[in-house]
């Protein structure tokens, strides 16, 4: 495993939700961090804090000066955050610009913030159900929105950059990532009606664990361009996974059975890869709720206090 002590790391999109936490973890590991963000964050601490646009060749070139590693987090991170053209073009051009310039400059490794939306179903406007459970990176893709398309194409860009310039790229397919307070609020919503979480497999991740995964992906020994699903080990909805699948996706094949609230995503590739050997499926620092024997149809779980 590569050490980050003294390494120079560029973090794009460092003013976002994951960015400041990732920067803090990188600096704690001994890295010298340059950040490139389009918006100022007064609380952001790094060796170099730059304002700029990841679509700009000049801004990215300046930010990459001397970099050994890249963490690319910059994106418009939702379908509805901006007009479709802006969401797609910002995400696709930024990823291409950052990886192409990093590869051409001889940077050896990049970690990219991907998304569970790369397979297309979470934001799909049609009445669709995953082809099977657990979700994995081979699951059939059905894309009907511009954000998901941009994240899907980002993984293709990563493979191109590796083939063209030899830069190793790890794309982390993040689920919903937030702090404990927001995750608890989401858990309460899904307690009342779990159905909206089906196509994301009721997955979630704490921002601290997302940052830990980024550090581990940077220091991994894997080569090539790979995408990994990340999630907490348990689901965010307070029901047993088998009961939810039976209630909301009875026709979807299950390739195996799930224990208690085990998240129905195949995390084996990430767990077995040195990309995140210890926390690829890093559980949140606090579980959203304990397992329930309640009925997910009527939102009536057995009540218990949080651990």
Among all residues, which ones are annotated catalytic?
Answer: 147
Q: Within 10 Å of residue 39's Cβ, how many Cβ atoms?
A: 9
- Given a contact cutoff of 8 angstroms between Cβ atoms, the answer to whether 113 and 18 are in contact is yes
Tokens matching residue 18: 């994951």
Torsion angle, CA of 152/154/158/164, rounded to 10 degrees?
110
Tokens matching residue 224: 């090539």
Q: Residue 86: enclosing H or E segment and its boundaries?
A: helix 84-104
- Given a contact cutoff of 8 angstroms between Cβ atoms, the answer to whether 46 and 35 are in contact is yes
Tokens matching residue 124: 């799909």
- Region of 239 on the Ramachandran plot (φ > 0 left; ψ -120 to 50 alpha; else beta): beta
Radius of gyration of the chain (CA): 19
Q: Within 10 Å of residue 185's Cβ, how many Cβ atoms?
A: 11
* Cα 203 to Cα 136: distance, rounded to the nearest angstrom: 13
Residues in the chain: 307
* Cα 128 to Cα 146: distance, rounded to the nearest angstrom: 17
């Amino acid at each position: 495993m590569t050490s980050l002590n003294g390494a120079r790391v560029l973090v794009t999109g460092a003013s976002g939700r994951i960015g400041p936490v990732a920067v803090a973890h990188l600096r704690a590991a001994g890295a010298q961090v340059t950040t490139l963000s389009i918006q100022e964050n007064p609380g952001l601490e790094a060796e170099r804090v730059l304002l700029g646009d990841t679509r700009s060749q000049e801004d990215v070139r300046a930010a990459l000066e001397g970099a050994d590693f890249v963490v690319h987090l910059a994106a418009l991170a939702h379908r509805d955050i901006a007009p479709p053209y802006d969401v797609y073009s910002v995400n696709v051009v930024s990823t291409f610009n950052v990886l192409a310039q990093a590869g051409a400059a001889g940077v050896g490794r990049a970690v990219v913030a991907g998304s569970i939306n790369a397979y297309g179903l979470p934001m799909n406007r049609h009445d669709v159900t995953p082809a099977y459970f657990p979700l994995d990176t081979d699951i059939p893709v059905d894309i009907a929105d511009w954000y998901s398309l941009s994240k899907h194409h980002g993984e293709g860009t990563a493979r191109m950059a590796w083939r063209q310039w030899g830069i190793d790229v790890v794309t982390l397919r993040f689920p919903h990532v937030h702090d404990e307070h927001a995750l608890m609020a989401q858990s309460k919503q899904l307690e009342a009606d779990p159905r909206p979480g089906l196509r994301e497999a009721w997955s979630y991740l704490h921002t601290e664990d997302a940052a830990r995964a980024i550090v581990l992906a940077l220091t991994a020994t894997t080569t090539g361009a790979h995408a990994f699903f990340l999630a907490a080990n348990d689901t965010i909805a307070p029901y047993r996974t088998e009961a939810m699948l039976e209630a909301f996706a009875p026709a979807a094949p299950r390739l195996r059975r799930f224990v208690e609230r085990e998240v129905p995503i195949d995390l084996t590739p990430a767990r077995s890869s040195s990309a995140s050997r210890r926390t690829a499926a890093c559980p949140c620092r606090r579980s959203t709720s304990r397992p329930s024997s309640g009925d997910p149809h009527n939102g009536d779980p057995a009540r218990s206090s949080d651990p």
